[in-house]
Structure 1
Amino acid sequence: MLDSIEECDILAAHPDDPQRMADGIADDQIVPRLAILACEDAIDFDSEEPRFAFQLGRALLAVGQQDEAFALFQTASGTDYAAAWAYLGDAHQFGLGTPVDGQQAYQAYQKALDLGFLAAEGQIAQLTFDGALYARPFVQLFFEGQYPRITGAVADPAAGAPSRNYVFSLVQTLLLECEPFLQPGNVPALYGFRYPANWTPSDDEPIEIAIETSVAEYDAAVFLRRHGCSGLIAQHMFDSFNRYLAQGSWED
């Protein structure tokens, strides 16, 4: 039985788990069948050890058994097992065996961090929007849904064309890195936004246009590094882009 305990640790421990008993293995490197058998045997030997419940939960999550994994993370978190709290955060953020709940995710990650799971700090950052990180205000304006201010900026005779190009380039850069998030009808709307009816090729000649392309690419990289493509902040932003493009207010 001791061999099964050792195998459970080797096959399913998390590398950032402060209570691990082995080096740990990444989620995508778990061999589920072997890990599940070993950790089930380990639980049979000691059902009170939260480490085994957490590691079995990881193995089950690797084969898509989200409900069972979530229940095991809850069990392990009941004894303040730090890594289990981090995985509860993932479950609440991405809807793994439980409905999506950003507040519950944030609280679970904070609990994990307080208990020593230091990797949870990155997840907390992923759920925390900070507009001061960006070179231009448009990322924050989209996050807050301040569409009249966006429309006002792109309608400005002096700065409208660079602003349109910035927004267009920001969305395009995110589309290149993430799964397509624009609704089909909003794809031509994005180009209509970038190239309004009164657009002429000479509008793109000023150096400010090229500058705003680079600035938008920078801001997109900052956003992706902090929030990724699938987290709650990212999904909120993508929804905001769609809402703005669907209303077509810049055409008024």
Structure 2
Amino acid sequence: MRRFRPAASGLLALCLVLTAGVAGAVNLTPPHGRHVPPLRLPPPVDPATLVTTCDSAAASPDDGQRTGPGVSTESLDANLALAQCGDAVRLYPTTARFHYQLGRARQKLGDYTGALESYRRAAELGSPIGAFSAAVMLRDGNGVVRDDDAAARLLAACADKGDPACLNALGYQYQQGLGVGRDPARAAALYRQAADGGLASAAVNLGFLYRDGEGVARDYAEAARLFRLAADKGDAVGSRNLALFYRDGLGVPKDEALAVTYFQQAADRGDEDALIKLAFAYISGSGVGRDAAKSFSYYQQAAGRGSSDGMAGLAYAYANGLGVAADGKMAAFWMLRALAAGNEYSFDQLANHWNAWNLDMRVATQAMLRDRGLYGGELNGTLNRETLAAIRRLAGR
């Protein structure tokens, strides 16, 4: 047995040598590749910093939590927003603004129940505009069952956080006694807080309280100051009411020319009633030189915006040839349009001052009432019982 040990040892050595040689020849060293760092997950995405497709489609310019510039209700593509914001809500279910933006899409599509649900969920997640939107729907019964108590609770919750819009709306609830006990003094305090937060409409509302002595001592000077504050912030109602104060000399020196300036400012900002005031100023020469053509133009602008007072003004202009050629048929046309729109002046003129209008206009009025199927009598310009009944029917009375 000892004779074979060296041979065995030699064979083993030979095998090792051969193995090493083969390994060297075919490079059997295990591959190790490049250095790979440990796997690190990206940091979690913060939805508050994103501008998603939902934001681009449905963010509101009035939402303090928005990302991006926002989209007006008129420009909002509701079907696109519904799809994009539905995806955003599923991906980020605890982000308040996505629920609110989904609510905007639903409301524009007429899904008021769904919109209210989305607004309420947004409110629960901390969206002031969501709370405000839900409250307004409930307060006004806009497509849902009216619930003043629920509206007041929603507004109180976001007013406690200092949101100006909610403070202002809650002030209205207290002023009118909607869902809370009527308390004009509390309303004034809430309006003041909202105005101090920069909300122009709250300054206007507080101005009305000072004008009327409601919840505060009547103070025309303070009311004028508040209206001016709102006007300086671009509020049309503030501009119009400041104009009225200058026209009538309430809290400020009477200045009809300055009143016209502020009426024009309000009209430029979209206020229909300011257009009527300007039209009257140019007819009467109050603060400006008389100019019937300009007066007619302002009545046209107001009527074009759907103002029934503008329609009645056109009827007056056509009947009297003010700024336009006299035309009884056109006078009747605009008078009846105003009447159908619920205009009180038109009803009073036709029902109580019929004979003050010229015969052509009265006959044309009867003819147009007949064309509407409301009158079957003679076309003689007489305010008979049948004509009066037709006028009342058109007015919805």
TM-score by length of 2: 0.33
Which of the pair has the greater relative contact order for Cα pairs under 8 Å at 6+ separation?
1
TM-score by length of 1: 0.49
> Which has the higher Rg, Structure 1 or Structure 2?
2
